[in-house]
Structure 1
Amino acid sequence: MKRSRQAEGFVTPTEDKIAQVHSILPRRVLPIIFLPGIMGSNLRMKPERQRQMGRENNIAWRPDSLAQSKILLEGDAAMRQLQLDPGLTEVDEYDPLNNPTGAPNESADERHDVVEVKLWYTLGVGIDTPLLIDDPITAKSRRTKDQKARERGWGEVFFDSYQELLETCEQRLNTAFVRGRLNRWWKNIVNVPPANWQASAQPPLAPLDEKTLQQAVKDCWFPVHAMGYNWLQSNRDSAVRIAERIRVLIKRYEEQGFQCEKVIVVTDSMGGLVARALIHPNIGNLKDQVLGVVHGVMPATGAGAAYKRMRCGFEDPGINSMSPITSVTAKVLGNFGPEVTAVLGNAQGGLELLPSQAYGDHWLRVTHGSKTLLSLPKKGDPYREIYKVQGKWYSLLREEWLNPAQIEDGPTFQKTCELLDKAKAFHNEIQTTYHPLSFAHYGADPNRSAWHQVVWEIDAKAKVLDIETLRIEIDDEQGKLRVNNSPAEFECTAPFSVTMQAPSDPGDQTVPLHSAEHQLHSGKFKGIFRQSGYEHQDSYKDERALQSTLYSLVRIAQNMEWAKR
């Protein structure tokens, strides 16, 4: 039942001329929906896989837990394949009623206990708001602000990476003005030139003035929700599920007596692909309910790092990483090619991060001294020219790495090719899809090199007969090959080394500027921030990324036109 507004007044003597003031709390709600990146959503195993692996709980992926990360860290490729199976995993949602932890002695709150909210509001309001405030101890079915945050999905995502973003958006948008005066924190944004956050000159952006901010946030709450998705599965399927969750959320706020018509979406990395599918008319079909989108570090056309990591494993972010957990995360998914391929080679979501046709030609190269001996793709189709090529030393897929667990009727080269066909179709479907009210920030840092071009370098002293027919004798699975000419009987030649070169293109250590820049070249964005100073996974811990995000959210919110009620 919808609640109406109520007010109380007092009868006073006629001599009392003091006005009675009643503050009416807003009943409008414009939720902020956060979509994390690959490896940014927590996953759990389905019961049958938990039983098969003999686990006490059903955690499949939870990088905030060092204990659980250590289990994967010490596991081999076969164990990773079983634990991170796209068909036998799902998002680890918070559900205290049904408690789906797979462990009889672990409650939902214990599973999600990393979510401890460290924010406060400078507002004298009660609990009849969407704010994250503890219920009074006298309340029936009392909930703490931590539990409320978990209900909003904050425990579904990699909290160490995203806590600062979630709390900053929640606190600052809902307390921009206190007693009619601008909150001091907003002086970091109001009247500040967007160039301070490395805004691109085109499209031009004007500083945000106080009046515009006030009008954008007036009479409205901005509750922040996080929605995880199974990053092992197709981003298309994830978008369909997220669309349904958003429709349910809007309806729930309406049933609670709020006016809720649209949402704003904020994304990280792969989450940007999900958001683009979310608004696509043939996928999520949610464009009318999404007011605007803020994209962070999105691999708009893919990333060369996806090829590199499937062949050579994840690199350690090392001393440039802001967070020690980021380094552990890379090692957990696999520092060796077979470990990564056993997971991402069987996961359509992972394959959808490979460079698409829109990425362009000649990004996979084989060099020998000053000469380029091979440069692919040549005809605009990396799926046919690289990913689905069988038996070549430079192919994406080492077939023997796809099914280390030896699952009966399990992964095969052909099945992965079918996933690649679907990835190609998805890439092409969303290629030009961007919300008309979009903003973006991404790494353009020459000191945070990423793989736009992926280069195999042949030993300068090697004698190469035919670059296409080299055969691998030894693969250290981290980017160093020992190869020889084939067939060997044509000429007696010595084996020689081929080495994966370090990244050399500007970016954020994962997404190259070349891919992110597709957003700028599309001409569809209202604002673009080409930033430096952060590593991909830790981008939302960077001050400029956070401030440009808040600026972008206000610019989107100022376009909201509420229906009259």
Structure 2
Amino acid sequence: MSGSYQMLTQPSDESQLQQMYIEKKKQLIPVIFLPGVMGSNLKNKNGDIIWRPETNSMDGITNLLGWALPYFGSAQVRRKDLNPNEVLVDDRGKIKKARKDNNDEHAFGPRSKRGWGTVANMSYGDFLPWLQEHLYSENGSLSQVLNKLIDMPSFTVDVGSKQNLFLDKKQLSLCDNYAFPVHAMGYNWLASIESSANALKNLIEVQLPQYYRRNKSKLSKVILVTHSMGGLVARYYTKELGGEDKVYGVVHGVLPSTGAAAAYTRMKQGAAMTGIIGKIVSEVIGDDAEEMTAVCSQSPGPLQLLPSPNYGYNWLTIHHADDTKETYPKQDPYKEIYLEKDKWWGLCEPHLINPLNTKYDSNLMKEDWDAYERIIRNKVKNFHDKIKDNYHPNTYAFYGIDTKKEANKIKADFLTYESVHWEGKLEQCFIKPYSPEDFTKVKSRFLPNEDYIGDKRRLNLRELGEIRRLRLAPDNHSWRQVYTLQRAKENGDNTVPKKSGEIPITYLKSRVGLDIGHEPAYKDKQGRSQEFTLRAIITMIQDI
């Protein structure tokens, strides 16, 4: 890959100055961006849009509704369409055009060929061009932002960091020896992280060498920049698929290093995102337990985000009305929570797995549960075991947290489920008797192992964020025990708690906590996460 240098010469007629460019061969270092869960565009095998959040502006509401509308209120549609075995990565997403005065496509080829259309424009549509434009200059000079990196960082790295990310002119000048084409790799986030890591292996070791060979450029190693689940893809590739020697370094953004309790709460109450855009996205992935279970129970990727044993124990509490408490997991989260099907607080309610089983056929329900159990045992547990404490030796990370909390009060945007708390209380009520016909109509709202048994019936109903356990007397007066899922109260980025986002410093070169949210981690208005990423990349090349 060549860089160019401008010189001014005076021609023989002395009428005007002209430009002359001298080409310098530069070492090629692709920077590959890996998005988070729900950050890759998906299509079905017929080419229809399945998941493509194009914009975060009001102008794009109509487009969002266009592909989201079929999912509103239908767990059956979700079960069918959001099937990891029936979707493909969609590379037709919206891509921001290159600047005319600094067109990276002249040097590296079309952005569409570099995977930019595979990732969600809503989350990364501005970050990718920002990163590329500041790592590349068509006239060969350093970008204005790179030149400013000799100033003090806008953040202070955590104590124990081996790199403070201060840069001087000499260090910046090394950028002149390298070309940094920015690539993106969307992946099937419904499928297992292992399969996505294999796709990354193929991209780095097969596709990119072929792509740049056509441009007569020799490929060296790559740099990985990740968001959330994308960091788990990178970790599995570098440590389990032999990719460590193919990667100079990794930047992790808001990585759920040991999982996130939000993966449990979303199975019990739905995605529960706020705002107009969030509501539309929630309607697609699942806005309640019935809809979310229909999707996630068949999808290894989202389930692999569950807290691993390395996350810690006793993060789930059930506080009964009689003031007794139960806490889980005590030793094994897979057995005690994820595969607990006889308790209402278990992760997955068997009768919600397959909404296409409208007659609740017991044999089909068993088959569906067995398939779900295989995912937990063979995919989730095995993945957690392999990924434990495994990081590339040249890793940099930032995480989201309310850094300015006062008097232990955390701002609403940063409240995160580190622990999960069900609060129970007794209420007296009068319930209209259910007929067998009524029961059939609302059966999907009942918890497993509860049947209509006349005046002695015991009914457990589920509402948004609540489990209602009803005990009716013959006169239809009842004491109702209501279990309510308490709101998140710990510090984090609204999805990943501090305990999981704050990777142990011993595994890292540098780490910083920033007051940023999870989804908009690379849209920081103050530019700190973007600056951290850029400084980390420049620091990585110092030892090449």
User: Shared topology, TM-score over 0.5?
Assistant: yes
Could you tell which deviates more after superposition, 334-343 or 254-263? 254-263
- 8 Å contact from structure 1 (residues 335, 478) kept in 2: no
SS of corresponding position for 2:195? helix
- 8 Å contact from structure 1 (residues 520, 528) kept in 2: no
Distance 1:259 1:214, change over 3 A: farther
> Is the aligned partner of 1:290 residue 2:242?
no
Pick the aligned partner of 2:513 from 530, 533, 540.
530
Tell me the residue number matched to 1:152.
114
Structure 1 residue 76 displacement after superposition? 0.2
Tell me the residue number matched to 2:50.
60
Q: 2-side partners of 1:352 and 1:414: how far apart? A: 17
Q: How does 1:382-531 map to 2 (within 5 A)?
A: 382-406=333-357, 412-421=368-377, 422-445=379-402, 446-447=410-411, 448-459=414-425, 473-484=459-470, 494-517=479-502, 519-521=503-505, 523-531=506-514
Pick the aligned partner of 1:261 from 204, 220, 231.
220
Q: 1-side partners of 2:341 and 2:212: how far apart? A: 52
1:263 corresponds to which letter in structure 2?
V
- 8 Å contact from structure 2 (residues 259, 306) kept in 1: yes
Q: 2-side partners of 1:73 and 1:344: how far apart? A: 15
Structure 1 residue 225 displacement after superposition? 0.6
> Is the aligned partner of 1:305 residue 2:291?
no
Q: 2-side partners of 1:263 and 1:307: how far apart? A: 35
Tell me the residue number matched to 1:41.
40
SS of corresponding position for 2:522? helix
- 8 Å contact from structure 2 (residues 135, 143) kept in 1: no
Q: How does 1:223-234 map to 2 (within 5 A)?
A: 223-234=181-192
- 8 Å contact from structure 1 (residues 484, 495) kept in 2: yes
1:388 corresponds to which letter in structure 2?
L
Structure 1 residue 362 displacement after superposition? 0.3
More strand by share: 2
Pick the aligned partner of 1:365 from 296, 311, 317.
317
Structure 1 residue 227 displacement after superposition? 0.5
Q: 1-side partners of 2:128 and 2:541: how far apart? A: 17
SS of corresponding position for 2:284? helix
- 8 Å contact from structure 1 (residues 250, 262) kept in 2: no
Structure 1 residue 204 displacement after superposition? 4.8
Unaligned runs of 5+ in 1: 48-56, 94-110, 133-147, 319-323, 463-468, 561-565
TM-score with structure 2 setting the length: 0.81
SS of corresponding position for 2:164? coil
Tell me the residue number matched to 1:330.
282
Distance 1:212 1:405, change over 3 A: farther
SS of corresponding position for 1:238? helix
> Is the aligned partner of 1:117 residue 2:75?
no
Q: How does 1:179-258 map to 2 (within 5 A)?
A: 183-186=143-146, 189-193=149-153, 196-247=154-205, 248-258=207-217
Q: 2-side partners of 1:317 and 1:44: how far apart? A: 25
Q: 2-side partners of 1:433 and 1:122: how far apart? A: 39
Tell me the residue number matched to 2:540.
556
Tell me the residue number matched to 1:92.
90
Structure 1 residue 21 displacement after superposition? 6.4
Q: 1-side partners of 2:144 and 2:51: how far apart? A: 39
Could you tell which deviates more after superposition, 415-424 or 57-66? 57-66
- 8 Å contact from structure 2 (residues 164, 510) kept in 1: no
2:64 corresponds to which letter in structure 1?
L
Pick the aligned partner of 1:541 from 491, 512, 523.
523
Distance 1:216 1:317, change over 3 A: farther
SS of corresponding position for 1:558? helix
Tell me the residue number matched to 1:339.
291
Tell me the residue number matched to 2:455.
none
- 8 Å contact from structure 2 (residues 321, 481) kept in 1: no
Q: 1-side partners of 2:322 and 2:120: how far apart? A: 44
Structure 1 residue 80 displacement after superposition? 0.5
Q: 2-side partners of 1:126 and 1:22: how far apart? A: 19
1:236-256 C-alpha deviation (Å, 9 max, x unpaired):
111011101111203421342
Q: 2-side partners of 1:221 and 1:20: how far apart? A: 22
Q: 1-side partners of 2:146 and 2:126: how far apart? A: 16
Distance 1:205 1:126, change over 3 A: closer
Q: 2-side partners of 1:552 and 1:369: how far apart? A: 51
Unaligned runs of 5+ in 2: 55-62, 403-409, 429-447, 451-457
Structure 1 residue 369 displacement after superposition? 7.2
Tell me the residue number matched to 1:141.
none
> Is the aligned partner of 1:82 residue 2:80?
yes
Distance 1:339 1:326, change over 3 A: same
After the TM superposition, which segments of 4 or more aligned residues of structure 1 sit over 6 Å from their partners?
18-21, 407-411, 469-472
SS of corresponding position for 1:341? helix
- 8 Å contact from structure 2 (residues 150, 169) kept in 1: no
Structure 1 residue 286 displacement after superposition? 1.3
- 8 Å contact from structure 2 (residues 45, 87) kept in 1: yes
2:157 corresponds to which letter in structure 1?
A
- 8 Å contact from structure 1 (residues 120, 171) kept in 2: no
1:511-551 C-alpha deviation (Å, 9 max, x unpaired):
1111112x225x1100111111x321111100211111111
- 8 Å contact from structure 2 (residues 39, 119) kept in 1: yes
Distance 1:511 1:268, change over 3 A: same
Structure 1 residue 160 displacement after superposition? 1.8
Q: 2-side partners of 1:479 and 1:20: how far apart? A: 68
TM-score with structure 1 setting the length: 0.78
> Is the aligned partner of 1:350 residue 2:302?
yes
1:46-66 C-alpha deviation (Å, 9 max, x unpaired):
24xxxxxxxxx5222112241
Q: 2-side partners of 1:444 and 1:120: how far apart? A: 38
Q: 1-side partners of 2:543 and 2:372: how far apart? A: 44
Structure 1 residue 315 displacement after superposition? 1.3
State the identity as a percent: 32
Distance 1:160 1:352, change over 3 A: same
